[in-house]
Amino acid sequence: MGWQQQIQAALQTRRAADAWRQRPVIEQNDGRWLQVAGERYLHFSGNDYLGLSQHPALIRAWQQGAAQSGAGAGASGHVSGHSRYHAELEQQLADWLGYSRALLFISGFAANQALIHLLAGKGDRILADKLSHASLLDAASHVPATLRRFTHNQPASLAARLATPCAGNTLVVTEGIFSMDGDSAPLAALAQQTRAADGWLLVDDAHGIGVIGEQGRGSCWQQQVKPELLVVTFGKAFGVSGAAVLCDEETADYLVQFARHLIYSTAMPPAQACALQAALREIQQADAQRQKLQQLIQRFRQGAAALPWSLLPSASAIQPLLVGDNGRALALAQRLRTAGFWLTAIRPPTVPPGTARLRITLTARHEEQDIDRLLEALSDAASE
């Protein structure tokens, strides 16, 4: 089959499966409200859990950073793109999270790819939670190491995988809070088993960092686990974009020497590193917002218990309503959109077949009345 026929066939399959993906053009977004095609919607689908993307201190820091150091980094960090703002931010992140080193990446996707491509060689193995993010599983399936997935959040399943002998190194991979289910990994049990097998643990805490744990230090801090490799991303609670890998001194040196995603890619703009420093300061002081978010989560879960769709066991800001069928999930999202709510139906292949869902996310920008209005609209949709 030529490219053209292949493309046409793939698109047709997508459409027929109610799995067509689109990118709506957002006219305005203040964290609580979205405007699309002239209409305003209550926004329940972002990852900006503390509303920091709209915070004046971050915007000011970005502006001042740009005024001092320009719009872009101008080169890879290995050439001339690593500014004092980058260096300061790395040190602040390492101190905050209790690691020797932090290395900045332009995205969480790049950070995960870099780690896995660099570490997982021939004869090694990667044991990853089945629901790990695409950036982890994609990389893991493209490296010479073997990839085995273990049952979601089941340390016993990991133990069974670890029991198989392996001559090479073992990298165990999980998320802190899972992006599509919102539940937390049992990090202490995973870490203990990994250590007993002389492996390394990689925790991607994209959805935990900033949102939980003392000072917002995330899932690992909350569960008192220090993985060999911690990935934190800045596109969610930090309200900006970018990521960092936290690790020991030698691993950081190794990444700087050999990680192609770092070496052959332009550093994030210095102004962005400046904005991220401001985000970190806000996050460290955001106990009140984190508390408010927890109250909103409780309120939503209590109300949603009465709905006909099952609520996944999530204590996080990610509250998926399991619908099952793609078409029905789409129809429900559409029904809510008509009622003034912006939420997305998440469908396979992002989630396993038969588990299409509304991925509802809450933020500290919401008010109690927003939650109540959403619950009412869901209840109306259920009784139709």
Give residue 118's region: left, alpha or beta (phi > 0; psi -120 to 50): alpha
Query: Given the rule CB under 6 A, which of 91-99, 204-212, 274-282, 296-304 is the region that contacts ligand PLP?
Result: 204-212
**Contacting residue, 48, 90, 175, 228, with ligand PLP by CB under 6 A:** 175
In terms of CB distance, is 213 or 371 closer to ligand PLP?
213
Q: How far is the CB of 204 from ligand PLP (least distance, A)?
A: 5
Contact between 261 and ligand PLP by CB under 6 A: the answer reads: no
Annotation marks residue 326 as catalytic: no
Binders in 71-110 for ligand PLP, by CB under 6 A: 107-109
Q: Measured in Å, how far apart are the chain's first and last C-alpha atoms?
A: 46
d(CA 148, CA 157): 11
Task: Catalytic residue, from 90, 124, 175, 228: name it.
Answer: 175
**Contacting residue, 170, 174, 179, 223, with ligand PLP by CB under 6 A:** 179
Helix/strand/coil percentages in the chain, nearest 5: 45, 20, 35
Q: How far is the CB of 91 from ligand PLP (least distance, A)?
A: 21
Annotation marks residue 122 as catalytic: no
Annotation marks residue 90 as catalytic: no
Residue nearest to ligand PLP according to CB distances in the complex: 108
CB 341 within 8 A of CB 350: no
Binders in 214-243 for ligand PLP, by CB under 6 A: 233, 235, 241, 243
CA-CA-CA-CA torsion sign (316, 177, 46, 269): positive
- Peptide bond before residue 349 is cis, with ω within 30 degrees of 0: yes
Alpha helices in the chain (DSSP H): 3-16, 56-69, 84-97, 108-119, 134-142, 155-163, 187-196, 219-222, 249-258, 260-263, 270-284, 287-304, 326-338, 368-382
Annotation marks residue 130 as catalytic: no
**Contacting residue, 83, 113, 135, 272, with ligand PLP by CB under 6 A:** 135
Nearest Cα neighbor of 346 from 314, 318, 307, 367 is 318
Binders in 109-128 for ligand PLP, by CB under 6 A: 109, 112
Annotation marks residue 207 as catalytic: yes
Annotation marks residue 292 as catalytic: no
Q: Collapsing DSSP states into helix, strand and coil, what is residue 122?
A: coil
**Contacting residue, 61, 120, 206, 240, with ligand PLP by CB under 6 A:** 206
Q: Collapsing DSSP states into helix, strand and coil, what is residue 130?
A: coil
Residues near ligand PLP, by CB under 6 A: 107-109, 112, 133, 135, 175, 179, 204, 206-207, 233, 235, 241, 243
